[in-house]
């Protein structure tokens, strides 16, 4: 068995308001996998992500995470600093760590998402999809072993979203990063993931995990009967979890 990257053991989260957000979440991340957390809004998917990132603490249970694990985080909004140029946004994680060679690494990360020519632009000059690419470049600039994404394409139009799905898969294959991807779309989760964790609501918990079988790379996968069958299976799992 491969070593685990991060493991959550019976993690429970109760907010200060008394709401039980998560109850007994067990989750083990395998290095190199693309795991989707799939569930309805308000089921605690984002809270699981924040706990993995260390931005929130479990109220009970434990989390095992190697020291110095390099984490990248992409929010639902691009979350760029509007006052800073694209290149300065991308190099922010390196600047905060006072790392050297930030400019070159940030430029390389921008090339990776196809925005090499926009380094000097301000965020407001970019489209929604481009801003999201900048946000992904910023998350990749530290070469993270773990990339956490919280419904990153939810606010984008479908055409842009499908293209970014493919770009993300290409990045995942070329960078060898482990990705945890939060979504409420069955279709997106089946298309992207190697594994799906279905999250049930109130309180949030992992109802089922489902391995996704599909060609890598995904060429034509969206139109195949296998894709449809797995979407149907995942949908059924989601229904069971919501019942």
Partner 1 sequence: MSRWLPPLVLGLAVLAAWEAAVDLARIPPYIVPAPSRVLEALVADWPILGPSLVFTLKTTVLALLAAVIGGGGLALLFAQSKTLERALLPYAIILQVTPIVAVAPLIIVWVDNRLVALLICAWIVAFFPILANTTVGLGSADRNLADLFRLYGASRWQVLWRLRVPSALPYFFAGLRVSGGLSLVGAVVAEFVAASGGEETGLAYRIFEAGYRLDVPRMFAALVLVSLSGIAIYALLSLVAWLSLRRWHESARSAEE
- Kindly report the number of other CB atoms within 10 A of residue 129's CB atom: 17
Nearer to partner 1, 153 or 191 (CB): 153
Our finding on whether 79 is near partner 1 (CB under 8 A) is: yes
Name the nearest CA neighbour of 123 among 77, 90, 85, 157: 85
Our finding on whether 119 is near partner 1 (CB under 8 A) is: no
Question: Which residues from 12-71 bind partner 1, rule CB under 8 A?
Answer: 50, 53-55, 71
Name the nearest CA neighbour of 53 among 106, 92, 6: 6
Nearer to partner 1, 146 or 238 (CB): 146
- Cα angle, residue 49 at apex, residues 13 and 75 outer, rounded to 5°: 130
- Kindly report the number of other CB atoms within 10 A of residue 133's CB atom: 24
Nearer to partner 1, 12 or 76 (CB): 76
Our finding on whether 1 is near partner 1 (CB under 8 A) is: no
Our finding on whether 83 is near partner 1 (CB under 8 A) is: yes
Among 3, 124, 220, 225, binds partner 1 (CB under 8 A): 124
Q: Are 204 and 43 in contact (CB under 8 A)?
A: yes
Give least dist CB 109 to partner 1, A: 14
Distance CA 152, CA 135 (A): 9
Which residues are near partner 1 by CB under 8 A?
50, 53-55, 71, 73, 75, 77, 79, 81-84, 92-93, 95-97, 122-124, 142
């Amino acid at each position: 068995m491969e070593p685990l990257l991060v493991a959550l053991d019976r993690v429970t989260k109760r907010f200060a308001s008394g709401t039980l957000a998560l109850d007994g979440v067990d989750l083990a991340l395998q290095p190199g996998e693309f795991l989707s957390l799939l569930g309805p809004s308000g089921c605690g998917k984002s809270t699981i992500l924040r706990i993995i990132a260390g931005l929130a603490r479990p109220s009970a249970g434990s989390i095992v995470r190697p020291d110095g694990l390099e984490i990248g985080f992409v929010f639902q909004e691009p979350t760029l600093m509007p006052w800073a140029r694209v290149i300065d946004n991308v190099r922010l994680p390196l600047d905060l760590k006072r790392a050297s060679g930030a400019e070159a690494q940030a430029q390389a990360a921008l090339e990776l998402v196809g925005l090499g020519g926009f380094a000097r632009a301000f965020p407001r000059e970019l489209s929604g999809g481009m801003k999201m690419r900048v946000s992904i470049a910023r998350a990749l600039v530290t070469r993270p072993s773990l990339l956490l994404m919280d419904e990153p394409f939810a606010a984008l139009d479908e055409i842009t979203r499908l293209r970014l799905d493919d770009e993300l898969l290409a990045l995942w294959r070329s960078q060898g990063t482990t990705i945890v991807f939060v979504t409420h779309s069955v279709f997106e989760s089946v298309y992207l993931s190697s594994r799906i964790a279905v999250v049930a609501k109130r309180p949030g918990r992992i109802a089922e995990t489902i391995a996704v079988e599909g060609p890598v790379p995904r060429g034509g996968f969206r139109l195949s009967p296998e894709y449809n069958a797995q979407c149907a299976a995942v949908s059924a799992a989601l229904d069971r979890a919501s019942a």
